[in-house]
Amino acid sequence: MQPFATHPTVSIVVIFLNEERFIRETIESVLAQTYRDWELLLVDDGSTDGSTAIAREYADQNPGRIHYLEHEAHQNKGMSASRTWAGKRPAAGMGVPGW
């Protein structure tokens, strides 16, 4: 396994709302990639199920590599607002075309 990059080339953004059933599988899929020069931004759009705890667990276990983000007061603001908000965060990797 290659060491983690200090400035990853790719920033992966996953916005989720009550995805306890799938969030672990999603994160594990990213971790299983052979390309290693990335960071993962997990954007919680106000989840009320166990997905928040799962996302925080992965972020805690992978500091500097997986980041947990949420809106103020854990509000639900919708996919578009979450994407825009996450895009304004100083991500280290390349942007996604059209963002």
Pick the CATH number of 11-88 from 3.90.550.10, 3.30.470.30, 3.40.640.10, 3.90.1580.10: 3.90.550.10
Residue 92 is predicted with a pLDDT of: 56
Residue 73 is predicted with a pLDDT of: 92
Residue 6 is predicted with a pLDDT of: 60
The domain locations on the chain are: 11-88
Residue 14 is predicted with a pLDDT of: 95
Residue 23 is predicted with a pLDDT of: 98
In order along the chain (99 residues), what is the average pLDDT of each group of 10 residues?
Answer: 62 95 98 94 96 98 94 89 76 48
Distance of alpha carbon 80 from alpha carbon 92, whole angstroms: 21
pTM: 0.81
